[in-house]
Every structure is written in C-alpha cells, then in structure tokens.
A and B are shown apart, each in its own frame.
Chain A
Amino acid sequence: MASSSIKSAYWRGFRDATPFVFVVAPFSLLFGVIATEAGLSVFETMSMSVVVIAGAAQFTALQLMNENAPTIVVLASSLAVNLRMAMYSASLTPFLGAAPTWQRAIMAYFTVDQSYALSVLKFETEPKMTLPERVAYFMGTVSPVCPNWYLFTLVGALVGQAIPPWLALDFAVPITFLAMIGPMLRTGAHVVAAGVSVTLALCFAWVPYNLGLMIAGLGGMMAGAQTETVLAKRAAP
C-alpha cells in the first residue's frame, strides 16, 4: 500500500514535469551552443551543466567571461542570480525538512525552478501527502527535467552554430516561467505578490549583479504576507 502510493506520487511528479522538457531542452541546447562558441570544450561545457545545474547562472557566467570580467565578479554575479535557490530551499523546508540528510542533499542539488515550483504547488494544495510521497513527487519532477538538461547541453555543444536565430530560443525561458506563474495565482495575496514583484523588478532592473531581482523577490514576499494577514483579519473579525 505505502509503496504503491509512493510510486504513484513519483509518476504524478514525472507527468507534471514532462511539459517542461519542451523548454528545458531548447534552453540547455542554447547553453551548449553559446558555451562552445565562447571557446569551452565539450567536456568543459558538460562539466559546467552537471556541476552548476542552474541555467540562468551559467548564462550569466558565460556572458561575464565574454566581457573579460574579473573571476570574483563572474562568481559573485552568477551566484547572485542563484540567490533565489536559497529562498526556494527555505520554502521547501517545512515540507521536506524531516527527510534523511542524504535525501535532503540530493534534493538540494536538484532544486531548480521547475522542480521547486511544481513541488511547492503540489505540497500546498495536497497537505495530506506523507513525507515519502513528497520526496517521491519531488524526484518525479526532477526526472524528466534534469537528465534532459545534461543531454541537450551535450547536443548543443556538438551541433554548435547550426541553430538558426529565427527559432528565438532565447524566449523559451520567459515562456516557461510565465506558464508556471498563472496556475500559482490562487488567492488575492498571490496576485498582489506577483504584481509588486513585476513592478519592483522593472524599476530596479538597473541595479548591478542582478540584485534588482532580490529586491523584487523580498518586496513581493512582504506584500503577499501582508495581504494574507489583512485578508485573514477581514474574514475573521
């Protein structure tokens, strides 16, 4: 019984994440192409995708290396792009924190935008899930996404410049994230958080090292939390 519910949680995660193959594949393909164009060998390109496994940070690092930025600036800026992973980690902790350390370490490595967004949505809408089911669901969402991240980096590195620009692969990432945002807006507080985040991100886009996103993220979180408090008070006078 228990093992069948865990299996089914894994496959639900797998199924929910499958659409993202269509966007992860072009994104990692693009990374492979750009990295080899910048002069990285196929082995170096692959190492970066496996060791770092964070698309936006990898693109930022390449961009700054292209501009011959000092190593410390490359590292600081790319890690700033990844600061959101710390917030994801915090957000997953109430749901997955009781898992054994080795499982938490594996899940930490595989915390990417897609696995995080799908899992947190599932855990919030189905609070009755058991811990092993949650872990299985999380690993299910990872399974179609991360192996394809490696695979299509390799394809991109091997195929190189054969990708025509009219494919507009640059827009695969915004489209993925936009598609994930719609289903997350379940309450007024979610809408307020998202609206504040967009406004702040556009206003603070000029801030260096991608810290504008951190301002937008913290602002959006505070706005959402405040709205939730206000709405709860109004509902229960």
Chain B
Amino acid sequence: MTDLSNLWIIIFGLGIGSFFMRFLFLGLVGDRPLPDWLLRHLRYTAVAILPGLVAPLVAWPAATGGQPDPARIAAALATFGVGYVTKNVLLAILSGAAVLFGGLFLLS
C-alpha cells in the first residue's frame, strides 16, 4: 500500500526544490561574468549528463527487472548511431523505435 499521507508535502517540496535548482544560476547569477574555467566545464554539461543518465537505463532496464535486454540494447545503438551520422533527432527516434519493436517482436 502506498503511503500518500505526505503527498502534498512531497509535491510542493519537489516543486519548490526543482524550481530553486533551475533558478539557481540563471536567476541569481544573471549577466555577471563567469570565470573561463567554469565556462569551459559548463560547455560539456549536456554531453556529460545525458549519456550518464541513459547508460544504466539501457544496460539494466527496469521493465525487464534489471536484466540486460538485446532488443533494448539494439534499439539504443540504432538510435545513437542514426543520430550521430544524420544529426536528425526525429529520424534517430523513429529508427530506435523501429528496432525496439522489431526486436521485441522477433525475440519474444
């Protein structure tokens, strides 16, 4: 049974906390100049966070109870490969979805 007694505390706690993190630099630093070394690190934020976010989801998907799944791994490689070569996000998503459903259909 899910404990929902503190649900509204959680909703507003998460909302305020998330907004604070999003506003932290953009809102409070504003147009004050940032040091070069910091800017150099910030340039790699996206390529350092997104792959790290995805890697465990691909390697150990929750939907298969954390077991590596060939269809999902193939779909991940196809999505990334098509995106890297074509630079076309939509094409990459569609390729990944096609490989995922093809793989799930063939392997099940």
A and B, one complex? yes
Which residues in B have their C-beta under 8 angstroms from that of A189? 44
> Which of A3-11, A147-155, A196-204 is the contact stretch?
A196-204
A194 to B63, CA, bound (A): 25
Least distance between A72 CB and chain B CB atoms (Å): 9
What 1/0 flags go to B35-48 for Cβ under 8 Å of A?
Answer: 00111111111111
Which residues in A have their C-beta under 8 angstroms from that of B47? 181, 184-185, 190, 193-194, 197, 220, 224
How many chain A residues touch B (CB < 8 A): the figure is 99
Query: Which A residues from 22 to 70 make CB contacts under 8 A with B?
Result: 22-23, 38-40, 44, 47-48, 51-54, 56-58, 61, 65-66, 68
Instruction: Judge if A221 is at the interface, Cβ distance under 8 Å.
Output: yes
Which residues in B have their C-beta under 8 angstroms from that of A12? none
Which residues in B have their C-beta under 8 angstroms from that of A96? 26
The one of B18, B63, B80 in contact with A178, judged by C-beta atoms closer than 8 angstroms, is B80
What 1/0 flags go to A152-180 for Cβ under 8 Å of B?
Answer: 00000000000001101011011111111
What 1/0 flags go to A194-230 for Cβ under 8 Å of B?
Answer: 1111101110010000001100111111111100110
Main DSSP-derived SS at the B contact region: helix
The one of B6, B75, B87 in contact with A71, judged by C-beta atoms closer than 8 angstroms, is B6
Also in contact, A51 and B12, with CB within 8 A (given A90-B24, A190-B47): yes
A84 to B15, CA, bound (A): 15
Q: Determine if B11 and A201 form an interchain contact, defined as CB atoms under 8 angstroms apart.
A: no
Residue of B nearest to A65 (CB): B2
The one of B3, B52, B83 in contact with A220, judged by C-beta atoms closer than 8 angstroms, is B52
Q: Determine if A201 and B6 form an interchain contact, defined as CB atoms under 8 angstroms apart.
A: no
Q: Determine if A109 and B2 form an interchain contact, defined as CB atoms under 8 angstroms apart.
A: no
Least distance between B13 CB and chain A CB atoms (Å): 5
Least distance between A166 CB and chain B CB atoms (Å): 7
Q: Determine if A228 and B61 form an interchain contact, defined as CB atoms under 8 angstroms apart.
A: no
Q: Determine if A94 and B52 form an interchain contact, defined as CB atoms under 8 angstroms apart.
A: no
The one of A82, A120, A183, A216 in contact with B17, judged by C-beta atoms closer than 8 angstroms, is A82
Instruction: Judge if B34 is at the interface, Cβ distance under 8 Å.
Output: yes
Q: Determine if B14 and A75 form an interchain contact, defined as CB atoms under 8 angstroms apart.
A: yes
Least distance between B85 CB and chain A CB atoms (Å): 7
Least distance between A165 CB and chain B CB atoms (Å): 8
Q: Determine if B79 and A175 form an interchain contact, defined as CB atoms under 8 angstroms apart.
A: yes
Residue of B nearest to A195 (CB): B51
Which residues in B have their C-beta under 8 angstroms from that of A181? 47, 50-51, 54, 80, 83-84
Knowing that A85-B18, A93-B25, A105-B27 touch, tell me 16 more A-B residue pairs with CB under 8 angstroms.
A39-B2, A51-B15, A65-B2, A75-B9, A84-B49, A93-B26, A120-B46, A168-B101, A168-B104, A178-B80, A178-B92, A179-B79, A182-B80, A198-B55, A202-B59, A205-B59
* 9 A-B pairs with C-beta separation under 8 A: A39-B4, A54-B14, A75-B9, A82-B21, A104-B27, A108-B27, A165-B63, A205-B60, A228-B44
Binding site for A on B (CB under 8 A): 1-4, 6-7, 9-15, 17-19, 21-27, 29-32, 34, 37-63, 72, 75-76, 79-90, 92-93, 96-97, 100-101, 104
3 closest pairs, A vs B, by CB? A182-B83, A220-B48, A224-B44
